[in-house]
Chain A
């Protein structure tokens, strides 16, 4: 007969109790097999089988008001969680590997952390997360939404109307994905003008612009971009991927310049647009050249890979995450926690960021050695922070329009998706005074 936990009752007995009142499902008798330690370690190295779900476990733990620590650079960026029944139950349901961590193990861990390039960062409060996404379903997936749903992290969807109303202020962390903030729908009309999904999306945006009092979609998106900029200036955490990164920079720097083609706002691009850009309004880029060619499927030269311009398209390589001093540079260190340092690259409408267009203070989190571009960047802007990750879907290097969504159950340990989830969790970290 199998014995369980402190009560020492049989599984059958447990089940009988559970069956009698199903709502109170025989809660933990199946998982409390041995006397449990006060804490559990969620290893994030190769000992973990569900890296992505582990982030959800940590998120729900702090959301539940329990304590948690993020052990930077310790076994792939592990989490130390209380060994409470709710944590164990949650981990069992998600398949997240836990290791019992008693006082001696914790003491050993703390000694190792103190002596190495590691740190233990308390996670205080689950951030309120919002994802900026259109109400209609476009024929591509959003890696962040996929990651959060797979990990079980709660989030709210919002779009232009909510942003313009000032709703961003309600959230600690906002994610932007495939949006084109220049209002040109990534110039997809060049290939998809007759596709029903394209027509529906274009019509929806035009209607939304009119209803919200804007003369065109580019004008609407500039208004939204400005609100997003305000959000960061006031202390928000912004994370953007793919085309949202580059176009947000262009929309903000080009707030007073016509950078959109005639097909989108009825007037041609200002031929001197590049010279008129005000890059002080952008987060991390400067001096980029706006792509004024109506038939060229690119927005600017910020992106190093130019996936949709055959003559310019660059092959994919692999990018390397930088090491940061966990005790002195905790935020970049959090953003690169991983069990792999080299990750195969993947395309997006914006895949990478040319080094020569980055502002001097930008922190490079990952680059491709020898290449003129970088993959993953971060910086402060007034009171807030922004992080840009190039590419569309870390587990779908090409991700053509119309491809089926990535099934994350097939990639539960994805290093690329871990980068996204690092971003979701880092606003939860308690700020510690920097050591001098």
Chain B
């Protein structure tokens, strides 16, 4: 009943506004209804109840009864309300509002048998009408009585010959019962007919568990392709964090002005939800429909945000071409440099900047030089980055300064600067977690190891991280773990195992120990050594019972025990 209570509270707030209008219109006559509404707005519920009662005998009986429902519910007088509603029903058996209030009051008063009796009486008094079934279904759905709603719908089918008019109730029922295929079919039908139901449908189907979503997709994707079901699936997929699937659902709609508007709205939703690649794809489709350089540049920006700078470069080039040789290159330059920076292609960034430097204003030059410096830093070009930053305004907690400090082994400087690093970038997370863990101020060997890694020499980087271990004893476990990962990625499994052994033996108190053991177990499973993997997984679970990795370890232990030598992905 929580839902109906909140509904009543919301309605009560609206009453205040309504009361003012009605009061103005009826100021001369000060009717009991207006008085009741004012008293309700003032919070004097008992007086309001009395005034609403007075108003029941007049021409505003329906409004008075609804008012009485609001105040009686807040006062907890559901039994009294049921009696009042029964009186109104007696006076006017055809009035659906009084019938509905009676049902709600009886159910709220836990008089379920009486409520069912009132529902049946309503059915008998209004043969051929859908309203009794719909109202009773709503009450039961709100109360979580899904199986009883099923009976009500069967009764409607039997008595009316159809359940037309109960589409949303059927859909909600199926979802409440976990019958996701039936729920999807019912909602598909509902949103095909009435577009405004998409929000309700999204709310209902969003609860489908992971393994049932396949059937929801199948229903909503099945032909014919119409906007309602596709919009619904798009909203569901976005809510489930599947931006690309959301876009796939919408992309098959026939493209016209209304579809384009829908896609533009989708881009906004996707950007808001951090689904940048889906936003990019939608923008590319829009751009193909009506070529527009601004859309291409926005698509490129989304590509960078979504971690695909390569496609951002192509989109930036397309935008530049559309704008022509005069304006295009300059307009596309910021996006192009951001993409090159993300790719660590310093030389290309440098050239692109140099080609256009003379066309840029002072402020723009500063910004672009920083992007070029970022591109150099990402690829380990320290000298070139410094050259680009020379003369540009940087402060101590600048991110670029933080990277340069890290490469020099100045961990104090790195700690200040890397606070502003992009938390979505894996290398930034790794670097920041390292400098945050250690209290060491200077660690040239560690700095050199990071620089080697940035320059793409993985083999030397792994060795360099291990060499740096004595220099930063309080963060040694991080360096060992990352060195082991590099070895593993390079298929040097024995080297990885050696480092895990060292980590587990000498740094068992560190958070990386559990992680190392889990990775070790995974390697053994991949090799087909199930017994060894089980040993490590059990050891990990028992030794670090508070590790955040425990659920994953337990799941992998189950898999190892039940699937024997089946190898993990």
Contact = CB atoms under 8 A, between A and B. Distances in A.
Interface of A: 11-12, 14-16, 18-19, 22-23, 25-31, 89, 92-95, 149-150, 152, 315-318, 342, 344-345, 368-370, 396-398, 404, 406-407, 409-410
Contacts of B555: 409
Contacts of A398: 179, 181, 215
Contacts of A370: 148, 151
Contacts of B505: 15-16, 19
A41 B553 CA distance: 24
B538 A315 contact: no
B544 A30 contact: yes
Interface in B99-158: 146-148, 150-151, 154
Contacts of B544: 30
Nearest to A407: B211
B224 interface: no
Given A30-B544, A398-B181, A404-B211, A149 B504 contact: no
A25 B534 CA distance: 11
B210 A22 contact: no
B541 interface: yes
Given A19-B505, A317-B150, A92 B541 contact: yes
Contacts of A410: 209-211
Nearest to B555: A409
Contacts of A89: 542
B223 interface: no
Contact of A318 (B146, B509, B539, B558): B146
A410 B14 CA distance: 43
Given A317-B177, A344-B177, A398-B181, A30 B535 contact: no
Contact of A25 (B181, B501, B535): B535
Contacts of A317: 146-147, 150-151, 177
A316 B508 contact: no
B509 A28 contact: no
Range of interface residues on chain B?
35 or more
Interface string B459-490: 00000000000000000000000000000000
B554 interface: yes
A271 to B, nearest CB: 33
B484 to A, nearest CB: 16
A89 to B, nearest CB: 6
A114 B513 CA distance: 48
A95 B509 CA distance: 22
Nearest to B544: A30
Interface centre among A15, A342, A345 (most CB of B within 10 A): A15
A25 B177 contact: no
A26 B544 CA distance: 11
Interface string B157-179: 00000000000000000000111
A26 B178 CA distance: 44
Interface string B489-514: 00000000000010011001100010
Contact of B554 (A22, A94, A316, A342): A94
A27 B542 contact: yes
B59 interface: no
Contact of B508 (A16, A23, A93): A16
Contact of B504 (A19, A23, A369, A409): A19
17 contacts: A11-B508, A11-B509, A16-B508, A18-B543, A19-B501, A19-B505, A25-B535, A27-B542, A30-B544, A30-B545, A92-B541, A95-B550, A316-B177, A369-B147, A397-B177, A404-B211, A410-B209
A93 B543 contact: no
B181 A95 contact: no
Contacts of B215: 398
Nearest to A346: B178
Contacts of B151: 317, 370
Interface centre among B178, B211, B535, B542 (most CB of A within 10 A): B542
Contact of B538 (A25, A344, A397): A25
B543 A30 contact: yes
Contacts of A397: 177-179
A29 B154 CA distance: 60
Contacts of A22: 535, 539
B509 A31 contact: no
Contact of B179 (A27, A316, A342): A316
Nearest to A14: B543
A158 B210 CA distance: 33
Nearest to B559: A409
B17 to A, nearest CB: 41
B517 to A, nearest CB: 10
A368 B509 contact: no
Given A15-B504, A398-B181, 16 more contacts: A11-B508, A15-B505, A16-B505, A16-B508, A27-B542, A31-B545, A149-B562, A315-B154, A317-B146, A344-B146, A368-B147, A369-B147, A398-B215, A404-B211, A407-B211, A410-B209
B542 A93 contact: yes
A23 B179 CA distance: 48
B551 interface: yes
A95 B551 contact: yes
A15 B557 contact: no
Contacts of B154: 315
Counting from the closest, the 7 A-B pairs by CB-CB distance are: A317-B147, A15-B508, A318-B147, A25-B539, A30-B543, A30-B542, A12-B508
A31 B542 contact: yes
B351 interface: no
A284 B541 CA distance: 46
A28 B542 CA distance: 7
A11 B535 contact: no
B561 interface: yes
Contacts of A12: 508-509
A92 B542 contact: yes
Interface string B64-86: 00000000000000000000000
Contacts of B541: 92-93
A29 B542 CA distance: 8
Nearest to A319: B147
A147 to B, nearest CB: 12
Interface centre among A30, A152, A407 (most CB of B within 10 A): A30
Nearest to B539: A25
Contact of A92 (B147, B177, B501, B545): B545
B403 to A, nearest CB: 34
Given A15-B505, A317-B177, A407-B211, A152 B539 contact: no
Interface in B522-569: 535, 538-539, 541-545, 550-551, 554-555, 557-558, 561-562
A388 B501 CA distance: 53
Nearest to A347: B179
A246 to B, nearest CB: 23
A26 B542 contact: yes
A95 B150 contact: no
A12 B477 CA distance: 14
A176 B31 CA distance: 73
A189 to B, nearest CB: 25
A16 B504 CA distance: 8
A131 to B, nearest CB: 15
A369 B148 CA distance: 9
A18 B542 CA distance: 11
B539 A18 contact: yes
Nearest to A320: B147
B504 A93 contact: no
B529 to A, nearest CB: 13
Interface centre among B178, B215, B538, B544 (most CB of A within 10 A): B178
Nearest to A49: B551
Interface string B37-53: 00000000000000000
Interface centre among B541, B550, B551 (most CB of A within 10 A): B541
Nearest to A23: B535
Contacts of A11: 508-509, 543
A25 B542 contact: yes
Contacts of B146: 317-318, 344
Contacts of A14: 543
Contacts of A16: 505, 508
